[in-house]
Amino acid sequence: MTTTLKTALIQQNKSTDLDKNFSDSLNAIRQAADAGARLIVLQELHRSLYFCQQQDVDAFDLAESIPGPSTDALGELAKSLNVVIVASIFEKRAAGLYHNTAVVLDSDGSIAGKYRKMHIPDDPGFYEKFYFTPGDIGFTPIKTSVGKLGVLVCWDQWFPEAARLMALAGAEVLIYPTAIGWDPRDDEAEQRRQLDAWVISQRAHAVANGVPVLSCNRVGHEADPGPSGEIHKAGPGIDFWGHSFIAGPQGEFLAVASEDKEEILYADVDLNHGENVRRIWPFMRDRRIDHYQDLLKIYRDD
């Protein structure tokens, strides 16, 4: 039996207008649903510009609770359209405690579950450790009306352990809301190397685990807002490279977006195909868990 799921990734450019940003996301969700999509994924921190280019205490005002205004509106829309939505939220859990959280709204409008970003980067232009507490929920797939979703977020996509743990827990698809781009000062060759590494890493997760991968990135240039309290000098900004893509369980491209345009990317995903792939490539069967203890070490000094 074939279980085909029409999926949609919403790749967008963002501005300082929060209301317009959110309205644009809602309208894109409606458009994707009208085209027949049942699973719709928004990019990382879709409600605002990528504010982590600087360390600015005022940016914490962007955070909201879960449930909260965004999840309420997205839940109502999911129910009215009979779709499942994966949305990235800057979560205020408590005073001084914030997370980068992906929320899954099921087709009945309920919050099916959430995932708090586990791997938090801290690099020039990506000062996320200032804002986000590492997740404490772990790597648990979220059960929905369209299947078990292994939701991870951006920097998580570089870690094979995260993908593997989601797959071991029964995830039928891996989903990565993302905000990644180039430093405009990098030359074209370096930009291509970075993009290729990003795509290869995620396609490898599909291959190694026998599951489809959905990666939804933002697009367009976002200027560095400049220093807050002279903490960091203003940088050149980020050219978010788009290239959202959907890959099958052998890493095959099912759909790829452009690097410079807003668009809705569609692909039909066969959720049963992964089992057939695992039968011919039985990586799960041949894992040597009796010899993997050193994976729990930061580094082997011997």
Would you say how long the chain is, in residues? 302
DSSP 217: -
Q: Are 293 and 27 in contact (CB under 8 A)?
A: no
Of 6, 44, 52, 128, which residue is the catalytic one? 44
Q: Which two tokens stand for residue 164?
A: 């593997």
Which residues are paired to 273 by β-bridges? Answer: none
Q: 44 catalytic, yes or no?
A: yes
Cis peptide before 67 (omega within 30 of 0): yes
Backbone phi and psi for residue 152, each to the nearest 5 degrees, phi listed first: -130, 175
Q: 117 catalytic, yes or no?
A: yes
The helix (H) or strand (E) run that includes residue 33 is: helix 18-34
Q: 154 catalytic, yes or no?
A: yes
Of 91, 128, 154, 172, which residue is the catalytic one? 154
Integer Cα distance of 152 and 147 in angstroms: 16
Q: Which two tokens stand for residue 294?
A: 């050193």
Of 6, 117, 222, 259, which residue is the catalytic one? 117
Token pair 């790749």 is found at 11
**Residues tagged active-site:** 44, 117, 154
